Amino acid sequence: MHNEVASILPVLVVAIPTAAAVLIFVFGRVGFWVHETLALLGVAGAFGCTLAVAHQTIQGTALESFSRQFYADSLSSLIMFLVSGIGLLATIYSLKYMRQHAEHAELPAATSMHRLTVFYGWLMLFVATMLWASVSNNVIMLYVAVEASTIASGLLVAFYWDKRALEAGYKYLMLLTVGITFSLFGCVLLYAVGASMIGGARGLLITDLRQIAGSFPLTTVVLASAFLIVGFGTKAGIAPFHPWLPDAHAEAPTPVSALLSGVMLKVAIYALVRTVSIFFPGFSPVASFALGIGVFTLVIGDIMALAQDDLKRMLAYSSVSQMGYVLMGFGIGTQLGIYAGLFHVLNHAMAKALLFLAAGAVMYSTGVRRISQLGGLAKKMPVTAFCFFAGALAISGIPPFNGFQSKLAILVAGGKAGNWWAVAIGIAASLVTLVVAAKAVKSVFWGDMSPAVAAEGVREAPLSLTIVMVVLALLCLGIGIYPKAVYEPLKSAACVLQTIPHAEGSMIASQR
Partner 1 sequence: MNPSLIHTLVLLTIFTSFAAVESRNLRHATVAYLFQALLIVALLVAYSTANRVLLYWAGTALVTKAILVPWFLWRATEKTQHETRPVIGFGISTVLLIALLSGMYKFTHTHAGLFTSPSKEMAAIAATNLAVAFTVFTLGIYAILTRRDAIKTVIGLCLLENGVHLSLVSLAPGIRETALIGIATEVVVTVYLLLYIIAGIRDKFGSTDTFQLSELHW
Choose which of 6, 105, 178, 427 interacts with partner 1 (CB under 8 A).
178
Stretch that binds partner 1, among 93-101, 103-111, 245-253, 415-423 (CB under 8 A): 245-253
Residue with Cβ nearer partner 1 (369 or 407)? 369
d(CA 420, CA 83): 34
d(CA 299, CA 301): 6
d(CA 249, CA 28): 26
For 302-419, where are the E strands, in sequence order? none
Q: How many angstroms separate the Cα of 349 from the Cα of each of 208, 284, 355?
A: 30, 28, 10
Binding to partner 1, residues 179-198 (CB under 8 A): 181, 184-185, 188-189, 191-192, 195-196
Instruction: Kindly give the pairing relationship between strand 70-72 and strand 61-65.
Output: antiparallel
Q: How many angstroms separate the Cα of 367 from the Cα of each of 12, 337, 364, 408, 440?
A: 39, 42, 6, 37, 17
Choose which of 73, 147, 208, 302 interacts with partner 1 (CB under 8 A).
147
Determine the residue type at 326: V
CB of 165 to partner 1, least distance (A): 9
Q: Check binding of 22 to partner 1 (CB under 8 A).
A: no
Neighbours of 30 (CB within 10 A): 11
Give ∠ CA 472-373-356 in degrees, rounded to 5: 20
Residue with Cβ nearer partner 1 (254 or 405)? 254
Beta carbons of 396 and 302 less than 8 angstroms apart: no
Residue with Cβ nearer partner 1 (155 or 503)? 155
Residue with Cβ nearer partner 1 (87 or 169)? 169
Binding to partner 1, residues 203-242 (CB under 8 A): 204, 217, 219-220, 223
Q: At what angle do helices 382-396 and 335-366 cross, to 10 degrees?
A: 150
Beta carbons of 286 and 278 less than 8 angstroms apart: no
Choose which of 59, 104, 162, 435 interacts with partner 1 (CB under 8 A).
162
CB of 428 to partner 1, least distance (A): 22
Q: Check binding of 155 to partner 1 (CB under 8 A).
A: yes
Instruction: Kindly give the pairing relationship between strand 3-6 and strand 61-65.
Output: parallel
Residues forming beta bridges with residue 70, ordered by sequence position: 65, 136
Count, residues near partner 1 per rule CB under 8 A: 49
Q: Check binding of 39 to partner 1 (CB under 8 A).
A: no
Binding to partner 1, residues 78-107 (CB under 8 A): none
Residue with Cβ nearer partner 1 (171 or 370)? 171
Look at residue 240 and give its three-state secondary structure: coil
Binding to partner 1, residues 313-332 (CB under 8 A): 313
CB of 163 to partner 1, least distance (A): 5
Residue with Cβ nearer partner 1 (102 or 140)? 140
d(CA 489, CA 61): 12
Site track for partner 1 across 273-312, x = CB under 8 A: -------------------------------x--xx----
Q: Give which of 40, 38, 9 is closest to 22, Cα–Cα.
A: 38
CA 91 to chain centre: 16
CB of 150 to partner 1, least distance (A): 8
d(CA 177, CA 399): 39
Choose which of 41, 102, 144, 470 interacts with partner 1 (CB under 8 A).
144
d(CA 489, CA 477): 18
CB of 188 to partner 1, least distance (A): 5
Q: Which residues bind partner 1 (CB under 8 A)?
A: 138, 140-141, 143-144, 147-148, 150-151, 154-155, 158, 161-164, 166-171, 173-174, 177-178, 181, 184-185, 188-189, 191-192, 195-196, 200, 204, 217, 219-220, 223, 246-247, 250-251, 304, 307-308, 313
